[in-house]
Amino acid sequence: MPRIPIVMPQLGESIAEATIVAFNATVGSEVHGDQEVLEVETQKAVMGVTSPCSGTIQEWTAEAQGSYAVGEILGYVECSEEEANRLGLIVDAPAPEFAEVRPEALPHGYSPGETSISPFSTAPSQSKSSSNVAPTLRGLPVPAHASGASFLSPRLKARMAELGLHAADLAGIAGSGAAGRLTIEDFEKFLAQLDQQHLSQASSMRVAVADAMRRSWTRPIATVGTPVVIDPLLSHRKASSPKAGPALYALRALAMALGENSALAGRLIGDKIVHPRSIDVGFAVEAEDGVLVPVLRNADQTKLRDLLVRYNDLVDLARRRRLPADATGGSIATVTNFGTFGLEWATPIPLPEQTLVLGMGAGRVVPKWDPSTEEFRPATEAHFTLSFDHRVLDGGGAGRLLTRIAELLAKPEEL
């Protein structure tokens, strides 16, 4: 009699494997089609795996608490020929107890000595007798141990390394291989098409920025934002001499907030949060064909007026691309004032070695309700955004940090 494999199904678009939690049917148990015979756990939920047909559980090849990829065989159900036909297994003649198939036709998970038929075989099987069992279902929803179109063969990776390309450079190519895989032929066709386009050489700084952003985006980045009334900041700045830029106010407020709880700027390494040794905060400066990020050390312990001279010097050096070594790298967060470009809202990306980046938008005069006078009054408001590594920080923590920054900016004389 035929036996049908119970395979790990595709449990979600991004799910590549699941862990066996419990067996709901034992060997020898009678089951019917679509009966839940296994419970499996993914990172998102506990789900059931059903029997592909009615019959008897003949064998479990999977073990409890073991993790198995999509498409792997977990066990077998022995069924009648009528059930095999219902599943699309066409039986031409009486078959022996177990049909024998060629090793190259066996799906992933079979050993060479297995003698079973599978609805997922990629080629018809041939028995030593006159029977011929031909599966009509082929392929899996996604390739096991792969992530759809992101799978790159060793040959393709070698070719990309030869040309200095990354996977992100191929994001616009539609793969023609199985399950959307990108083939070497797709890649070479893409290169041939590039030769017909207008090309210009990217500067070394642009390449460096691109590489940093590519590495940053391998993490789950999220952004929260809130409007902040900046009239107190503007009044304090107007009365000060020399005058600090709005970005320096934001930097100092961020540094003070992180000085109160440095874990918010920690980095996740394995299963440990690495806390920063000091509150060193960078700020973005637009330079020729890119952005540089000079760093102010121990910004939480240095008053705003004492940071100003160093800040102005670093802005000038950055624009001339003459930053000293002690003013680059090692920062735990960055401040960027995208409001200088007239932008009210943006979602900047933290540097690869950082968890946070604080963004400041352009100020706009808006009506603001005054409870004391029970009327609307004009106020200058700017949107502040905080982009963060979601592995380290959740939306609630990010929101509280942003609220604390707004509170500090409301009292600029204390910065």
Number of domains, the chain:
3
- Asked if residue 176 is part of any domain, the answer here is yes
Cα(253)–Cα(303) distance, integer angstroms? 10
- Tokens describing residue 57: 């559980």
- Asked if residue 206 is part of any domain, the answer here is no
Which H/E stretch holds residue 136?
Answer: none
Give me the phi and psi of 412, to 5 degrees please: -60, -25
Residues 85 and 194 in one domain: no
Structural domain containing residue 14: 3-135
Residues 122 and 174 in one domain: no
Q: Which of 84, 113, 135 is the last residue of a domain?
A: 135
For the stretch 2-61, pLDDT in tens is: 888 999 888 765 567 788 989 999 999 999 888 999 998 876 467 889 988 889 999 999
- Asked if residue 366 is part of any domain, the answer here is yes
- Asked if residue 298 is part of any domain, the answer here is yes
Residues 273 and 295 in one domain: yes
pLDDT number for residue 117:
40
Residues 360 and 396 in one domain: yes
pLDDT > 90 fraction of the chain, expressed in percent and rounded: 44
Q: What's the pLDDT band for 359 if we cut at 50, 70, 90? A: very high
Give me the phi and psi of 43, to 5 degrees please: -70, -15
Distances (CA, A) of 4 to 79, 112, 134: 7, 17, 13
- Asked if residue 143 is part of any domain, the answer here is no
pLDDT number for residue 151:
64
Residues 175 and 56 in one domain: no
- Asked if residue 244 is part of any domain, the answer here is yes
Report the candidate in 346, 344, 358 with the shortest Cα–Cα distance to residue 281: 358
Report the Cα 77 to chain-centroid distance in Å: 38
Question: Which of 1-5, 82-86, 129-133 holds the top average pLDDT?
Answer: 1-5
For the stretch 295-351, pLDDT in tens is: 999 999 999 999 999 999 999 998 888 888 889 888 999 999 999 999 999 999 999
- Asked if residue 97 is part of any domain, the answer here is yes
Q: What's the pLDDT band for 199 if we cut at 50, 70, 90? A: confident
21 CB-contact burial (10 Å; exposed 0-12 / middle 13-18 / buried 19+): middle
pLDDT number for residue 14:
56
Report the Cα 65 to chain-centroid distance in Å: 26
Residues 266 and 372 in one domain: yes
Residues 246 and 317 in one domain: yes
pLDDT number for residue 145:
35
Q: Residue 347: which CATH number? A: 3.30.559.10
Q: What's the pLDDT band for 96 if we cut at 50, 70, 90? A: very low
CB 57 within 8 A of CB 29: yes
Q: Residue 53: which CATH number? A: 2.40.50.100
Residues 71 and 192 in one domain: no
Q: Residue 162: which CATH number? A: 4.10.320
Pairing of strands 3-7, 46-50: unpaired
